[in-house]
Structure 1
Amino acid sequence: MTLYTCRSGIIGTAEQAALLLSAGLAAQQVILTSVTAHATAHAARARGVEPDVVPVGFKHVAAARQGHRVLGVEPNGALAWAESGRDWFDRDALIALTLVLETFGSLDDLDTAVAEHRTRYPFPQQILSTPVTEDKVSGGLSTTSAASIRPS
């Protein structure tokens, strides 16, 4: 689920998770995918929780769940929260939105938290698209490394 406010602009799933953790969400387990922004992992560690990092895809997040008070993040729009081991644990925008609204009492509080977070972590996740020529493709997979990609 992506949120948008006039003051903050887009607030993606990974940033929402980092905000919730920084605001005191008492997660006992935090599950992130390998492409989740590092700020979310830093926020989990600041709460004393070493995040579990799984491959991309919410099915991996769900499979890694253990116990209760679990926050799962797949930055492509999936934020899951379960208080107990019996709670539903899936990509549920209503549960995520309720959690954000309960944590931040007003839009001003949310926007203030976003501004503070972005000051602390000034390097937002960027998605870069790069053209790939036929000679750089082997077996259908690009051999371009992340280190060779430079923003224009």
Structure 2
Amino acid sequence: MIWELYKLFGKDENFKVPVLVDSPLANRLLDCYSSILEGEAKEQFDEMMSWSNLRRIVSPEESKTAVADKSAKVILSSSGMISAGRSVKWLQNILPNENDCILFIGYADVDTLAWKIKTARIRRQLISVGSHMRINVQLLIYIHILLICSDRIY
């Protein structure tokens, strides 16, 4: 997902929106890729990772600070079907804003929070964020990443 965003916006000087990787798993995988890639693939990876818009969130404290920041951003967070972890905090933060968007990429098992959101079978019980919300959900299949973005970027 980072690569796709980088290909779209990496050379665009007008694109100032930060892209946050807020996932311990994703950060470990990025470190693994960095250590095993070679040649042109490694050069492209390093170029992507040095993109000024890209920021890796490592510590829980950094994550809390990023969640509290109300400015426009794209967040990449492993979802675990939104059963735990940092993606839950992001959802609590962005769902009350009907202009924000959640992009699920991957499978969500029946009766998980991710499934309930994807199938719009949830309203009031959603993590105590309120009973009147519109959820803008787009679906893609096969990669387990939760992308939360705000239309505040426009």
Check whether TM > 0.5. Answer: no
Q: Which structure would you say has the larger Rg?
A: 1
The structure whose RCO (Cα within 8 Å, separation 6+) is larger is 2
